[in-house]
Amino acid sequence: MNLNLKKESLRKVNETLQSIDRKSNKKIFKISNPDGNHAICAGLKDEIEVTIDGHTGYYCAGMNMNANIIVNGNVGTGVAENMMSGTVHVKGNASQSAGATAHGGTLIIDGDTSSRCGISMKGIDIIVKGSVGHMSAFMAQSGNLVICGDAGDALGDSIYEANIFIKGKVKSLGADCEEKKMNKKDQNILRSLLKKASINESEIKNFKMYGSARKLYNFNIDNVSEY
Amino acid sequence: MCGIVGIYLKNKKYNSQLGKFLTGMMNSMATRGPDSAGFAIYSSEKKKKYKYSVCSNTDQVKEISKKLSRHVKDIKVKSISDHLIIETAMKPKKFIEILKNHEELSLVGYGSCIEIFKQVGNPKDVVKNFSLEKFSGSHAIGHTRMATESAITTDGSHPYSTGEDECLVHNGSLSNHNNLRRSLQKKGIEIKSMNDTEVAAGYISNGLSDKKSLKETLLDGLKDLDGFYTFISGTKNGMAIVRDEIACKPAVVAETKDYVAIASEFQAMAHLPNVNSAKIFEPEPGKVYSWGK
C-alpha cells in the first residue's frame, strides 16, 4: 500500500499505520514524499514493514513496537526514540539523539550520526556503520551501541550498564567510562549484532569494548571532580 | 526555539528565484518562530551607491523623501510595507547622522548590495507583506523568532546588521552579552537594542573592521561568546555558519552544484530544486563553514 504525504496528511498516514487490521494480509507499506516532516511512523505497534522514500524530520519511528521501518534517506533528531521493539534501518545519516531512551529493538544506521547517539538508552541495540558525534551513550543504562567508525568527545559519559563496541578512534572518553576486556559472551553479543547489520563477522577482532568503571554509582568525595 | 535559514546561489540562473526559495524556507520555519520574522537579501552591487533599509512608522513616503532631499541630493525612495529602501550616493557616516534627526525612521541596515526587512507577526504574513517572492539576488538569510530574552518588537527581530553589507541571524541565546556590549560600545560599535544577537553582530563587525576574515572572527567568537548558538552570518561576498561546541541548536546544510542552503530543519529545504540528490550534512560543533565569491 502506497501512502503519499503530498496527498494525504501526516496524521492520516500515521493513523492508517497505527490501526492495522490484524486479520488482513496488508503488511507492507510505502511512504513517499516525507519532505522532512516530523514524527513519521511514530507509535506503530504491529508487525508490519514500512519503507519511507526520502528524508524525514524529528522523532521518526518514535516509540516503535514490532514494526520494521526502513528509511531511504536521512533522519532528523531522535530517530526511534523510546523504541520498545522492532527494527529501524536508516540508509542515510541520522541527526542528534538517535535511539534516545529506547528500551528495545534494533536501530541500524548506515551513515553517521551527530551528537548524543544512544543517550540514556535502556536496552536497545544500535549499530552505526559510520561515526558518532560527541556525548554518545551519555548515561546509557542498558543495551549495546556498536560504532564502526569513530566517536566524538566524551563517549559514554556517566554510563551505567550498557556496552559500547567501537572499531575506530575515540576522541575522548566521558566521566566513568573505561575500556573493558571483551570475553566470549561479549564477542557473541557483538557477532550477533554485526550479523544483524550484514557486517562481516571477521571484523570482531578490530573492535574494542567500553563500559562503566562503576566509580560514580555511589557518591564518593574522592571522585567529586568527576561529577 | 527560532528558525534560521540561508541560501547562497552558485548558479546565476536561479537569481530571479531567490525570493521564492527563501519564502518557502521561511514559511516552513514559521512554527519554530511565530513572533516575528526578518530577512536580508543580497543583490548585485551598485557602484558608488548605497542602499539604506529603514523601518518607518509613518506612511507618508512622499513627505519623507521631500524632507530628506533637502539634505541629500539624488535620492531614490522605494516603499515596501513599513520599510523604505533609500538609495543615494551619500556615504554612510554622513547619511546615518542625517537619519538620526528623523525620529520616525530607524535604520535596519545599509550597504552597496544588502536590503533588510523585519517585522513583528507570523513569518507567513511578514513575507507576504514584503512580497519576498518577488526578490532576486545572489544570496539571502532569514529568521523566524520565538522571543526569549528581549521584547517582541521590530528592534528585537533578526537579522541584525551593525556594519556595511553585514548581517547576522541567531538561534540560541548568549549569557555574556551585557559585558560584551559595554566593551564593544567603548570601541565605537553602535548597538541599539538590549538584544543578545545584536551584540554578536557588533562583535563580528568589530572583527571585520580589524581586517580579520569572517571565518577568523567567528572562530574567535567561539572563545569570546558565552552561551549557545547557531549563527548564520552574511557579507557582500557570501555567508558562513558556526555552531557552538555543545551544538544543541540544530542546523542542516544541503549543497548542490547550483546552491548551498542552510536551515534549522531539513523540511525548510524540501521544496528546493534537486534537493534529494544534494550533499546533506550537519555542521560539526565549533567549526566554521563558509561559501562565497
pLDDT tens figures, A84-134: 999 999 999 999 999 999 999 999 999 999 999 999 999 999 999 999 999
Query: What is the per-residue pLDDT for A84?
Result: 98
Mean pLDDT across the stretch A140-146? 98
Q: Which residues in chain A have their CB less than 8 angstroms from residue B271's CB?
A: 35
pLDDT tens readout for residues B270-287: 999 999 899 999 999 999
Residue A103 located in a structural domain = no
The answer to whether B207 and B224 have CB atoms below 8 angstroms apart is no
Interface of B with A in 86-105 (CB under 8 A): none
Mean pLDDT across the stretch B246-265? 97
Q: Which residues in chain B have their CB less than 8 angstroms from residue A73's CB?
A: 276
Domain count, chain A: 2
Residue A48 located in a structural domain = yes
Residue A73 located in a structural domain = yes
Say if B267 is an interface residue toward chain A (CB within 8 Å): yes
Can you tell me the distance from the alpha carbon of A18 to that of A39, in angstroms, rounded to the nearest whole number? Answer: 13
Of B266, B281, B282, the CB nearest to A36: B266
The residue type found at A180 is K
A61 — pLDDT class (breaks 50, 70, 90): very high
User: Cβ–Cβ of A55/B268 closer than 8 Å?
Assistant: no
A170 — pLDDT class (breaks 50, 70, 90): very high
Same domain, A135 and A180: yes
User: Cβ–Cβ of B270/A58 closer than 8 Å?
Assistant: no
Same domain, A62 and A168: no
Same domain, A33 and A136: no
Say if B268 is an interface residue toward chain A (CB within 8 Å): yes
The answer to whether A69 and B224 have CB atoms below 8 angstroms apart is no
For residue B149, pLDDT over 80 is answered with: no
Residue A77 located in a structural domain = yes
User: Cβ–Cβ of A55/B266 closer than 8 Å?
Assistant: yes
Same domain, A121 and A221: yes
Can you tell me the distance from the alpha carbon of A103 to that of A100, in angstroms, rounded to the nearest whole number? Answer: 9
**Would you list which residues of chain A are within 8 Å, Cβ to Cβ, of chain B?**
35-38, 54-55, 57-58, 73-74, 76-77, 92-93, 95-96, 114-115, 133-134
pLDDT tens readout for residues B191-212: 988 999 999 999 999 999 999 9
Say if B282 is an interface residue toward chain A (CB within 8 Å): yes
Q: Which residues in chain A have their CB less than 8 angstroms from residue B263's CB?
A: none
For residue B58, pLDDT over 80 is answered with: no
State the cell numbers at B205. 563587525
Residue A222 located in a structural domain = yes
For residue A223, pLDDT over 80 is answered with: no
**Among the residues of chain B, which ranges form H helices?**
18-28, 61-69, 92-100, 123-129, 177-186, 196-209, 214-224
The answer to whether residue B2 is catalytic is yes
**Among the residues of A176-216, which ranges form H helices?**
184-196
The answer to whether B139 and B9 have CB atoms below 8 angstroms apart is yes
From A149, A127, A152, A148, select the one nearest A138 (Cα to Cα). A152
Same domain, A119 and A214: yes
pLDDT tens readout for residues B7-28: 999 999 999 999 999 999 999 9
For residue B248, pLDDT over 80 is answered with: yes
DSSP secondary structure string, B8-47? EESSGGGGGGHHHHHHHHHHHTGGG--SEEEEEEE-PPPT
Residue A118 located in a structural domain = yes
pLDDT tens readout for residues B69-85: 888 888 999 999 999 99
B62 — pLDDT class (breaks 50, 70, 90): confident
The average confidence (pLDDT) of chain A is: 96
CA distance A76 to chain B (A): 8
State the cell numbers at A195. 550479523
Residue A191 located in a structural domain = yes
Query: What is the per-residue pLDDT for A227?
Result: 64
Query: What is the per-residue pLDDT for A185?
Result: 97
Q: Name the most confidently modeled range: A214-218, B59-63, B106-110, B146-150.
A: B106-110
Same domain, A46 and A124: no
The answer, yes or no, to whether ipTM is higher than 0.85 is: yes
State the cell numbers at A34. 516525507
Say if B24 is an interface residue toward chain A (CB within 8 Å): no
Mean pLDDT across the stretch B104-112? 94
CATH, domain range B3-42+121-292: 3.60.20.10
Domain, as residue range, for A153: 112-227
Query: What is the per-residue pLDDT for B213?
Result: 92
State the cell numbers at B271. 521544496
Chain A / chain B CB contacts < 8 angstroms: 44
Same domain, A76 and A120: no
CATH, domain range B46-112: 3.30.70
Residue A183 located in a structural domain = yes
Domain boundaries, given as residue ranges, for chain B: 3-42+121-292, 46-112
